[in-house]
Structure 1
Amino acid sequence: MDILDPSGALVLPQTMWLCYSTVARNNGVAKEQLFRLVVPEELLETVPQKGAHASSALAGLIELGLVDVDSDGLLSAEPTNTAGFLRKLRRVIVVPPKDISPSFEGAPDLRVGLVWLMRQDPFAPLHWETGDQNEMPFLNDTRWNAFPHWSVALGFARPALKILGPGSNGSITADPTEAVLDILLNPKSESHFPSGEQIPVGTFMNALRNELPILPGHPSAVYDGMDTDESSGWAAVGLALNCAEARNVLKMGYQSDPTGVAALPSNEGSGRSRYVSWIEVLK
């Protein structure tokens, strides 16, 4: 599905959570009943497009496989909290569709946008009006409008600080810190990031790419017309790892005669690199 498509009511993550949590609390609910729970009839005339945003969100949840529909048209979903829902949502967005099932389409427009975002300078505000539109994988400014909502909700961006310069109002910066932290604290497999063990940086990066396959270096993190310049390819990921270290989730170091080294950008945007040969997850 095209999540960023503005032709109808936009599919937004906050509306998805509202619909998902309502289904999970009322398993076996019919679509019409769910719609009335989310958009009460008394409010129907006052909400945009008479609640079309809720219908779009539910359709997206069903298409992404997060809400099930039985043969009688009744809805069900696994109960979870907000963090658990965002974790599920992030996975079906970032994982290559064929890795979920041969018939799964996913959200290719949003995934391509996130691949692009993870290659951007985290110290520069990003906005359609002030960016290089020839390099952006968005067809127009209206398709950009939903992207900040999604990139921030999934943990890959933050609203840009106004101090970063003109045009930063309403802009975002590439920052996957929240997504990386969530992966480290809730990995699919404990063997990916064993606690208390110094992992060679190359092994760690491969595991991180497998968990978040939109990061630079993953074979699927590509799209037609992508800028292949690698000069800032690890800047956003480097920021996330430095932030994780500052929060005592991991620590990084350099050993003499290492088998592999990564040059991670510093947090200050100074252009200086920090050389790392091992990373240890503390948890």
Structure 2
Amino acid sequence: MTLINVSASLPTAMWAAIRMFSTPTARYQVDELLLLLSPTSVFRTKEDSKEKPPARRALDTLQDLGILEKSSDEIGLSAEHQELAGAALRTYLDRLRIACLAAKHNDGLLGQTDRGALDLTRALVWFLAQDPLGPPLGWTEVQPLQSSVNWASGLVFSNSTRWNLFSYWAPALGFAGQHSVLGDDAARTLIPDCTTAVQATVERLWPAEALLEAEEFVAHLSAELPVLPEGQYARQLGISTDDPKKVSTVLSLALLRGHDEGWISLIRRQDSQRDVVLVDPDRVDRAQRVTEIEVHGSHGE
């Protein structure tokens, strides 16, 4: 399995497959499900084509990630993903993010293979280490930037196809924004922005009104999102923050946005010595010290 190579599916096609399972116990014959997802009257594959049709790639990728499982010739939701039956899009994307970042799909991160989710994980680690306050990144900008990578697996994006596929995966998983003014759809221009992934993770980890020390908050968050510069995968690949008290720019901006939008509050208590330092571009010294973070939920309630 790879996730940003031509043999893999895209989150949109996989969502179409998931929508077929309206109940936890729903099961389909594989051939039946393929016909429902990709009627031959609409989608025809050339007889001599070696390329799998999109519906087949979607089912294969969902099985590789453990979201769907096959028993005999029937396919259905796996036991740990029953909540996806009839679920909303956000729930699906949250579960997809968790599956892609799971340790079992990222064994051998420092090696040369692309098995599991390794190609996407490496790409996310590299991408989130780029400057979110800099120019938007398209394939033209990415090519010279990635030349500094010296991993056993080689360049993060060995060709424009991988960048193009990444430009679908990164926003879907909540790790990228698409520039609304300068972005060129054809160029797939992205901005490193983990706000969506951070907000979803915060709401999953803590109830409203939870109050945590900032260090603890960042530690738990980076454990759940190991592709952040504070995370385990970034450390393994040598792209990580040097000082545990200094929060990366990309995570800082997500937390500042969360404060502005009301789903968290950033608090500084003068009598506390346990703080973290956020990158705040609106301050003269570009730094904001935070000792505690309070969780409010998606509407600041």
TM-score by length of 1: 0.83
Aligned to 2:100: 93
Deviation at 1:107, TM superposition (A): 0.7
Deviation at 1:96, TM superposition (A): 2.0
Aligned to 2:167: 148
The residue type equivalent to 1:5 in the other structure is N
Aligned to 2:69: 68
Aligned to 2:177: 158
d(CA) in 1 for partners of 2:104, 2:285: 36
Aligned to 1:190: none
The residue type equivalent to 1:171 in the other structure is T
**Partner SS for 1:162:** coil
**Larger deviation, residues 38-47 vs 57-66:** 38-47
Map 1:1-283 onto structure 2 (within 5 A): 1-6=1-6, 8=7, 10-24=8-22, 27-45=26-44, 52-70=53-71, 72-77=72-77, 78=82, 79=85, 80-97=87-104, 106-124=116-134, 125-131=136-142, 132-135=145-148, 137-163=156-182, 170-187=188-205, 193-222=206-235, 224=237, 226-227=238-239, 234-266=248-280, 268=282, 272-283=286-297
The residue type equivalent to 1:37 in the other structure is L
Deviation at 1:270, TM superposition (A): 7.3
Aligned length: 268
**Partner SS for 2:124:** helix
CA deviations 1:31-63 (Å, max 9, x no partner) are: 11111111112102399x797111111100011
d(CA) in 2 for partners of 1:86, 1:261: 32
CA 1:57–1:176: 2 relative to 1, 3 Å: same
Identity %: 25
**Partner SS for 1:221:** helix
**Partner SS for 2:278:** strand
d(CA) in 2 for partners of 1:235, 1:209: 14
Deviation at 1:94, TM superposition (A): 1.6
d(CA) in 2 for partners of 1:161, 1:140: 25
Any conservation in 2 of the 1:180–1:240 contact (CA below 8 Å)? yes
d(CA) in 1 for partners of 2:202, 2:266: 14
Deviation at 1:282, TM superposition (A): 1.6
Deviation at 1:169, TM superposition (A): 5.4
d(CA) in 2 for partners of 1:145, 1:250: 33
d(CA) in 2 for partners of 1:269, 1:37: 55
CA 1:156–1:130: 2 relative to 1, 3 Å: same
Aligned to 2:111: none
d(CA) in 2 for partners of 1:167, 1:75: 35
CA 1:233–1:109: 2 relative to 1, 3 Å: farther
**Larger deviation, residues 125-134 vs 262-271:** 262-271
d(CA) in 2 for partners of 1:222, 1:196: 31
Deviation at 1:138, TM superposition (A): 1.8
d(CA) in 2 for partners of 1:54, 1:267: 45
Aligned to 2:152: none
Deviation at 1:220, TM superposition (A): 2.8
Any conservation in 2 of the 1:215–1:221 contact (CA below 8 Å)? yes
CA deviations 1:206-249 (Å, max 9, x no partner) are: 1111221222222332455x456759971111111111111211
Deviation at 1:82, TM superposition (A): 1.5
d(CA) in 2 for partners of 1:269, 1:113: 31
CA 1:91–1:194: 2 relative to 1, 3 Å: same
Deviation at 1:147, TM superposition (A): 0.3
Task: Give the RMSD, CA atoms, in angstroms.
Answer: 3.0
CA 1:241–1:154: 2 relative to 1, 3 Å: same
Any conservation in 1 of the 2:125–2:233 contact (CA below 8 Å)? no
Unaligned runs of 5+ in 2: 108-114, 150-155
CA 1:44–1:271: 2 relative to 1, 3 Å: farther
**Partner SS for 1:186:** helix
CA 1:16–1:207: 2 relative to 1, 3 Å: same
Any conservation in 2 of the 1:201–1:276 contact (CA below 8 Å)? yes
